[in-house]
Amino acid sequence: MTPAAAAARSARLSALAARALSPWCPGSTGARRLNLQAATDTTDSTKLKSKEDLPGPSFAKTLYWILLKGYADKSHLLQDVQRNLYGPIWRSRFGQYDLVNVATAELISQVIRQEGRYPVRVLLPHWKEYRDMRGQAYGLHVETGPEWHRIRAALNPKMLKVREVQPYAPVVHQVVSDLLQRIERLRGRSHDGDTVSDIAAELYKFGFEGISSILFETRLVAWREVPEDTLRFIRGVNDMLDLSNMVALLPRWTRSFLPHWRRFVQAWDDICDVAQSLIERRLKELEEQVQSGAPPTGLYLTYLLSNEQLSRAEVYTSITELLLGGVDTRLLCLSSDVQHSLVGAVPSVRDQRAQDRLYSEVVEACPDRREPSVDDLNQMPFLKAVIKETLRLYPVVPGNGRFVTENDLIVGGYWFPKETQFHLCHYSVCHSPDEFPDPESFVPERWVRPGQNTDGAYSRALPTVQRHHPYSYIPFGVGVRACVGKRVAEMEMYFALSRLMQQYEVRPEEGAPVIEPKTRT
Ligand code: HEM
């Protein structure tokens, strides 16, 4: 992993300012073990090695990988290359970036367990600069320390728990219905009148429509044609994330003759403009409701406005950041061949065996194409396994960051001062045969417990089911800084994938998978 790429990735990650806290927390036994270890090491701290002792690539070698070996847009693959050369922990430096890369589940757990009360992924001074320039409030991605915690505490309710997101089910189903109708329309318009190519593009738009419907509590537009604002927002996010790395890497004086800063600002302006007009439209509706004597009804935005924990300016920034996380074109698709979970899941289930099994499960739980309820999802362990396996193979966030500001750390027998930037190499760990046998194969069964409504024979053939290290698979992160939108994202993916499977088959085609209607009943 090159420093630049890792920094870029972390920056994009931070852009995720928009997706429910993982309910998954590190086991207390593990935490005790680490503290004990740290305490033991500290007593002997003079013997600990430091960052200076870490192996790692030279600047020239990094450039060689990026420029000549073509890793610039697939830097997640470089994690394994570097791990093989330098071992599971190494240092990489590039420009202003100085990163410590960790590429085993155990090392990742050590970093996370020492991350403190207010973990930071990566500092984003250029994002802060934009907010200052436009007089905007800071949100989750720019704010740090107790102020970050205050914002996060205000956003967590109605997002973090399965039962808290249940009220969003009807609106998510409406968005899925629109998606299915749109697929039908696109089929009608296609060259053979039957197949939809580039389903991925449709699913990205679904991401935006899904999260905005939840945030604004209603369908903003019926989805006959994708609204221009949606496309503008998605374009803005893409541009902003692309340029974010360059803005961070190039010195300020280059802004006077290179266009990157101007374009970065323009991209942010577009994002904020769309978000602001969506918020204002909803605010107007709420005011009209109140004026007519009706109590204001609604879900997330109404909640944020009514509980008054955040100022109006902070609500604007937070909603914008949540939309960002929901869109996730490359926000969550951090490199060209790493795909968003649902976008990835649809192609993955072109695997006929998995597709047949998924279909049978969905049909059994919801006959006659009935819309699945949240309770029905409990009868669909294979559906959940498909999503998990997709997130393992194509982690939306292949590399996360931690910049621990509160304390020094001991990781892998090395001592690190506070304010060391760590890069957590999730992609490498998710693809490690030490954690997942036959790691490059799509095997959803590895996530289904034997006896859990499953084909027992297959599970028996995989004795390692569930035996990986808990930190080898943390697609939404863990702890207080984990993804705020996890539960929403899961619900969207479960509903969309189950209903797609009720109606369509996915088959591989050069470039992108295509989907076509099911012929079986
Ligand atoms: C498959 C879908 C998604 C995946 C895999 C995902 C993954 C992640 C990950 C790995 C992080 C970083 C966690 C950490 O640093 O420990 C994150 C942060 C975040 N995500 Fe998501 N996310 C998804 C969907 C969403 C959605 C739909 C939203 C919007 C509701 C969202 C909002 C956020 C926000 C706001 C943060 C920043 C939290 C903070 O810094 O306090 N994410 N996400």
- Render pLDDT for 60-80 as a digit per residue (tens, 0 to 9): 888 888 888 888 778 888 999
Which residue minimizes the CA distance to atom 10 of ligand 1? Answer: 476
Question: Using 50, 70 and 90 to split pLDDT, how confident is the model at 328?
Answer: low
430 in a labelled binding site? no
- Render pLDDT for 346-362 as a digit per residue (tens, 0 to 9): 555 556 788 888 889 99
Q: Which of 276, 13, 266 is nearest to 123 (CA)?
A: 13
- Considering the chain, what percentage of its residues have pLDDT values greater than 90? 44
Tally Cβ neighbours within 10 Å of residue 30. Answer: 16
Which residue minimizes the CA distance to atom 23 of ligand 1? Answer: 19
Residue-level pLDDT at 521 = 43
**What is the position in ligand 1's atom list of the atom closest to the CA of 480?**
41
- Stretch 10-19: mean pLDDT, rounded? 33
Residue-level pLDDT at 464 = 44
Ligand 1 probe mutation, 14, 19, 343, most atoms within 8 A of CB: 19
* Residue 20 CA, ligand 1 centroid: distance in Å: 7
Residue-level pLDDT at 406 = 92
Give residues (CB < 6 A) around ligand 1.
Answer: 13, 16-19, 121, 140, 152, 211, 321-322, 325-326, 332, 341, 396-397, 400, 475-477, 481-485, 488-489
- Stretch 148-162: mean pLDDT, rounded? 93
Cβ contacts of 268 within 8 Å, gap of 6 or more: 130, 134, 236, 240
* Least confident interval from 28-42, 371-385, 488-502: 28-42
Which residue minimizes the CA distance to atom 22 of ligand 1? Answer: 19
Terminal C-alpha separation, the chain? 48
- Render pLDDT for 404-444 as a digit per residue (tens, 0 to 9): 999 999 999 999 999 999 999 999 999 999 999 999 988 89
Looking at per-residue confidence, does 430 or 5 come out higher?
430
* Residue 45 CA, ligand 1 centroid: distance in Å: 36
Predicted ipTM of the assembly = 0.99
Token look-up 């698979």 returns 473
Residue-level pLDDT at 463 = 45
**What is the position in ligand 1's atom list of the atom closest to the CA of 474?**
10
Residue-level pLDDT at 192 = 73
Per-chain mean pLDDT for the chain:
80
Residue 305 and residue 283: Cα distance in Å, rounded? 9
Residue-level pLDDT at 286 = 81
Q: Which of 91, 108, 109, 113 is nearest to 100 (CA)?
A: 91
Ligand 1 probe mutation, 16, 112, 400, 403, most atoms within 8 A of CB: 16
Question: Using 50, 70 and 90 to split pLDDT, how confident is the model at 32?
Answer: very low
Residue 14 and residue 130: Cα distance in Å, rounded? 15
Which residue minimizes the CA distance to atom 6 of ligand 1? Answer: 476
Residue pair 483/373 in contact (Cβ under 8 Å)? The answer is no
- Stretch 285-309: mean pLDDT, rounded? 81
What residue type is 110 in one-letter code?
A: Q
Which residue minimizes the CA distance to atom 24 of ligand 1? Answer: 19
Residue-level pLDDT at 15 = 34
* β 414-416/421-424 pair status: unpaired
| Residue 405: burial class (beta carbons within 10 Å; 0-12, 13-18, 19+) | middle
Which residue minimizes the CA distance to atom 38 of ligand 1? Answer: 483
Which residue minimizes the CA distance to atom 19 of ligand 1? Answer: 483
* Residue 479 CA, ligand 1 centroid: distance in Å: 12
Question: Using 50, 70 and 90 to split pLDDT, how confident is the model at 503?
Answer: confident
**What is the position in ligand 1's atom list of the atom closest to the CA of 391?**
5
